[in-house]
Amino acid sequence: MPDILTWQLEPLPTLLSLAFGYLLGSIPFGLILTRMAGLGDVRRIGSGNIGATNVLRTGNKKLAAATLVLDALKGTTAAAIAARWGLDAGIAAGFAAFIGHLFPVWLGFRGGKGVATYLGILLGLAPIMLAVFAAVWLAVAYLSRYSSLSALVATAATPVVLWLTGNEKVALLFAVLTLITWWKHRANIARLMKGTESKIGDKG
Protein backbone atom coordinates (compact mmCIF):
# COMPACT_ATOMS: atom_id res chain seq x y z
CA MET A 1 0.00 0.00 0.00
CA PRO A 2 1.40 3.45 -0.90
CA ASP A 3 2.75 5.43 2.02
CA ILE A 4 0.26 8.23 1.42
CA LEU A 5 -2.60 5.85 2.19
CA THR A 6 -1.01 4.50 5.36
CA TRP A 7 -2.12 7.07 7.91
CA GLN A 8 -1.63 6.28 11.59
CA LEU A 9 -3.90 8.79 13.27
CA GLU A 10 -4.05 7.72 16.89
CA PRO A 11 -7.04 9.54 18.44
CA LEU A 12 -5.41 11.11 21.50
CA PRO A 13 -2.11 12.24 19.89
CA THR A 14 -4.03 13.56 16.89
CA LEU A 15 -6.47 15.57 19.01
CA LEU A 16 -3.66 16.92 21.17
CA SER A 17 -1.64 17.82 18.06
CA LEU A 18 -4.58 19.64 16.49
CA ALA A 19 -5.37 21.56 19.69
CA PHE A 20 -1.72 22.42 20.36
CA GLY A 21 -1.13 23.49 16.77
CA TYR A 22 -4.23 25.66 16.59
CA LEU A 23 -3.60 27.42 19.90
CA LEU A 24 0.01 28.10 19.00
CA GLY A 25 -0.85 29.24 15.51
CA SER A 26 -3.57 31.58 16.73
CA ILE A 27 -1.17 33.75 18.77
CA PRO A 28 -1.40 37.14 16.97
CA PHE A 29 2.22 38.23 17.24
CA GLY A 30 1.78 41.10 14.78
CA LEU A 31 -0.99 42.62 16.87
CA ILE A 32 0.79 41.98 20.17
CA LEU A 33 4.10 43.50 19.04
CA THR A 34 2.58 46.63 17.49
CA ARG A 35 0.49 47.28 20.57
CA MET A 36 3.48 46.79 22.85
CA ALA A 37 5.39 49.29 20.71
CA GLY A 38 2.61 51.84 21.09
CA LEU A 39 1.63 51.71 17.41
CA GLY A 40 -2.01 50.86 18.05
CA ASP A 41 -4.08 48.19 16.32
CA VAL A 42 -2.38 46.94 13.15
CA ARG A 43 -5.78 45.75 11.91
CA ARG A 44 -6.78 49.38 11.37
CA ILE A 45 -4.17 50.02 8.68
CA GLY A 46 -3.37 48.67 5.23
CA SER A 47 -4.92 45.29 4.49
CA GLY A 48 -6.17 44.93 8.05
CA ASN A 49 -4.46 41.59 8.66
CA ILE A 50 -1.97 40.74 11.40
CA GLY A 51 0.94 39.48 9.30
CA ALA A 52 4.43 40.88 8.80
CA THR A 53 3.60 42.65 5.52
CA ASN A 54 0.92 44.72 7.20
CA VAL A 55 3.11 45.36 10.25
CA LEU A 56 5.70 46.77 7.84
CA ARG A 57 3.14 49.42 6.88
CA THR A 58 3.60 50.92 10.35
CA GLY A 59 7.09 51.91 9.20
CA ASN A 60 8.81 49.74 11.80
CA LYS A 61 11.01 47.24 9.93
CA LYS A 62 12.27 45.57 13.11
CA LEU A 63 8.75 44.80 14.28
CA ALA A 64 7.87 43.47 10.84
CA ALA A 65 10.93 41.20 10.88
CA ALA A 66 10.11 40.00 14.39
CA THR A 67 6.54 39.26 13.33
CA LEU A 68 7.78 37.30 10.32
CA VAL A 69 10.11 35.19 12.45
CA LEU A 70 7.58 34.55 15.23
CA ASP A 71 4.78 33.69 12.80
CA ALA A 72 7.11 31.20 11.11
CA LEU A 73 8.24 29.69 14.41
CA LYS A 74 4.61 29.00 15.34
CA GLY A 75 4.45 26.52 12.49
CA THR A 76 7.92 25.09 13.12
CA THR A 77 7.33 24.56 16.83
CA ALA A 78 3.91 22.98 16.38
CA ALA A 79 5.05 20.56 13.67
CA ALA A 80 8.39 19.65 15.25
CA ILE A 81 7.05 18.98 18.75
CA ALA A 82 4.02 16.99 17.58
CA ALA A 83 6.20 14.98 15.18
CA ARG A 84 7.67 13.27 18.24
CA TRP A 85 4.43 11.25 18.18
CA GLY A 86 5.09 10.48 14.52
CA LEU A 87 4.95 12.22 11.15
CA ASP A 88 1.16 12.10 11.01
CA ALA A 89 0.88 13.98 14.30
CA GLY A 90 3.37 16.56 13.03
CA ILE A 91 1.32 17.04 9.89
CA ALA A 92 -1.86 17.47 11.94
CA ALA A 93 -0.23 20.06 14.21
CA GLY A 94 1.27 21.95 11.28
CA PHE A 95 -2.08 22.13 9.53
CA ALA A 96 -3.79 23.30 12.71
CA ALA A 97 -1.14 25.98 13.30
CA PHE A 98 -1.72 27.30 9.78
CA ILE A 99 -5.48 27.41 10.31
CA GLY A 100 -4.95 29.04 13.71
CA HIS A 101 -2.90 31.83 12.13
CA LEU A 102 -5.45 32.46 9.40
CA PHE A 103 -8.51 32.14 11.63
CA PRO A 104 -7.60 32.96 15.27
CA VAL A 105 -10.56 32.55 17.59
CA TRP A 106 -9.35 35.49 19.71
CA LEU A 107 -9.71 37.93 16.79
CA GLY A 108 -13.04 36.88 15.38
CA PHE A 109 -11.34 34.39 13.03
CA ARG A 110 -9.61 37.19 11.08
CA GLY A 111 -5.86 36.62 10.92
CA GLY A 112 -2.98 36.76 8.44
CA LYS A 113 -2.42 35.30 4.98
CA GLY A 114 -0.19 32.49 6.20
CA VAL A 115 3.01 32.58 4.12
CA ALA A 116 5.33 32.94 7.14
CA THR A 117 3.57 30.12 9.00
CA TYR A 118 3.65 28.05 5.79
CA LEU A 119 7.43 28.44 5.73
CA GLY A 120 7.68 27.58 9.41
CA ILE A 121 5.79 24.32 8.91
CA LEU A 122 8.07 23.54 5.97
CA LEU A 123 11.08 24.07 8.23
CA GLY A 124 9.60 21.72 10.82
CA LEU A 125 8.69 18.90 8.43
CA ALA A 126 10.96 19.20 5.38
CA PRO A 127 13.70 21.78 6.06
CA ILE A 128 15.63 21.15 2.84
CA MET A 129 12.58 22.43 0.95
CA LEU A 130 13.20 25.92 2.28
CA ALA A 131 16.07 26.20 -0.18
CA VAL A 132 13.77 25.20 -3.04
CA PHE A 133 11.09 27.67 -1.93
CA ALA A 134 13.67 30.45 -1.61
CA ALA A 135 15.17 29.71 -5.03
CA VAL A 136 11.78 29.81 -6.75
CA TRP A 137 10.73 32.95 -4.86
CA LEU A 138 13.95 34.80 -5.72
CA ALA A 139 13.84 33.77 -9.38
CA VAL A 140 10.24 34.94 -9.84
CA ALA A 141 10.89 38.12 -7.84
CA TYR A 142 13.92 38.92 -9.99
CA LEU A 143 12.00 38.40 -13.23
CA SER A 144 8.69 39.99 -12.24
CA ARG A 145 9.37 42.23 -9.21
CA TYR A 146 6.07 41.04 -7.76
CA SER A 147 6.37 39.75 -4.18
CA SER A 148 2.88 38.26 -4.22
CA LEU A 149 3.47 36.42 -7.50
CA SER A 150 6.75 35.07 -6.13
CA ALA A 151 4.96 33.65 -3.09
CA LEU A 152 2.18 32.17 -5.21
CA VAL A 153 4.58 30.41 -7.58
CA ALA A 154 6.81 29.18 -4.75
CA THR A 155 3.87 27.73 -2.84
CA ALA A 156 2.64 26.03 -6.01
CA ALA A 157 6.05 24.47 -6.61
CA THR A 158 6.49 23.24 -3.04
CA PRO A 159 4.01 20.30 -3.01
CA VAL A 160 5.10 19.24 -6.50
CA VAL A 161 8.77 18.99 -5.48
CA LEU A 162 7.84 17.27 -2.22
CA TRP A 163 5.86 14.66 -4.15
CA LEU A 164 8.62 14.10 -6.70
CA THR A 165 11.16 13.58 -3.90
CA GLY A 166 9.06 10.92 -2.20
CA ASN A 167 7.50 12.95 0.62
CA GLU A 168 3.93 12.11 -0.35
CA LYS A 169 2.22 12.80 2.97
CA VAL A 170 3.95 16.13 3.48
CA ALA A 171 3.24 16.96 -0.18
CA LEU A 172 -0.47 16.39 0.40
CA LEU A 173 -0.41 18.70 3.41
CA PHE A 174 1.30 21.46 1.43
CA ALA A 175 -1.04 20.99 -1.52
CA VAL A 176 -3.90 21.84 0.85
CA LEU A 177 -1.97 24.73 2.44
CA THR A 178 -1.15 26.07 -1.03
CA LEU A 179 -4.81 26.07 -2.08
CA ILE A 180 -5.75 27.95 1.09
CA THR A 181 -2.86 30.39 0.59
CA TRP A 182 -4.01 31.14 -2.95
CA TRP A 183 -7.55 31.69 -1.70
CA LYS A 184 -6.26 34.12 0.93
CA HIS A 185 -4.33 35.94 -1.82
CA ARG A 186 -7.31 36.18 -4.18
CA ALA A 187 -7.26 40.00 -4.02
CA ASN A 188 -3.57 39.97 -4.99
CA ILE A 189 -4.34 37.58 -7.85
CA ALA A 190 -7.07 39.91 -9.11
CA ARG A 191 -4.67 42.86 -9.03
CA LEU A 192 -1.99 40.84 -10.81
CA MET A 193 -4.46 40.01 -13.57
CA LYS A 194 -5.41 43.69 -13.89
CA GLY A 195 -1.77 44.84 -13.76
CA THR A 196 -2.39 46.98 -10.68
CA GLU A 197 -0.45 44.96 -8.11
CA SER A 198 2.40 46.94 -6.53
CA LYS A 199 5.93 45.81 -7.35
CA ILE A 200 8.92 45.32 -5.08
CA GLY A 201 10.50 48.71 -4.47
CA ASP A 202 7.40 50.74 -5.34
CA LYS A 203 6.82 53.75 -3.13
CA GLY A 204 3.46 54.54 -1.51
Length of the chain: 204
Asked, for residue 29, whether it belongs to a domain, the answer is: yes
pLDDT for 144:
92
pLDDT for 5:
45
Per-residue pLDDT of the chain (204 residues; tens, 9 = 90+): 445 545 565 677 888 999 999 999 999 998 899 899 888 888 888 777 888 878 888 888 898 899 999 999 999 999 999 999 899 999 999 999 999 999 999 888 888 889 999 999 999 999 999 999 999 999 999 999 888 899 999 999 999 999 999 999 999 999 999 999 999 999 999 999 999 888 876 654
Asked, for residue 201, whether it belongs to a domain, the answer is: no
Nearest alpha-carbon partner for 39 in 56, 20, 23, 22: 56
CA distance linking residue 74 with residue 52, whole number of Å: 14
State how many domains the chain has.
1
Asked if 120 contacts 133 with a C-beta cutoff of 8 angstroms, the reply is: no
SS3 166: coil
Asked, for residue 71, whether it belongs to a domain, the answer is: yes
CA distance linking residue 180 with residue 83, whole number of Å: 23
Nearest alpha-carbon partner for 198 in 124, 148, 128, 131: 148
pLDDT for 203:
53
CA distance linking residue 46 with residue 154, whole number of Å: 24
DSSP per residue, the chain? --GGG-----HHHHHHHHHHHHHHHT--HHHHHHHHTT---GGGSTT---SHHHHHTTT-HHHHHHHHHHHHHHHHHHHHHHGGG-HHHHHHHHHHHHHHHHS-GGGTT-----HHHHHHHHHHH-TTHHHHHHHHHHHHHHHH--HHHHHHHHHHHHHHHHHHTT-HHHHHHHHHHHHHHHHHTHHHHHHHHHT-SPPTT---
What pTM was estimated for this model as a whole? 0.89
DSSP per residue, 92-131? HHHHHHHHHHHS-GGGTT-----HHHHHHHHHHH-TTHHH
Asked, for residue 130, whether it belongs to a domain, the answer is: yes
Cβ-proximal residues to 78 (8 Å cutoff; 6+ apart), any chain? 17, 20, 21, 24, 25, 93, 94, 96, 97, 121, 124
Domain that holds residue 52: 3-194
pLDDT for 13:
81
Asked, for residue 204, whether it belongs to a domain, the answer is: no
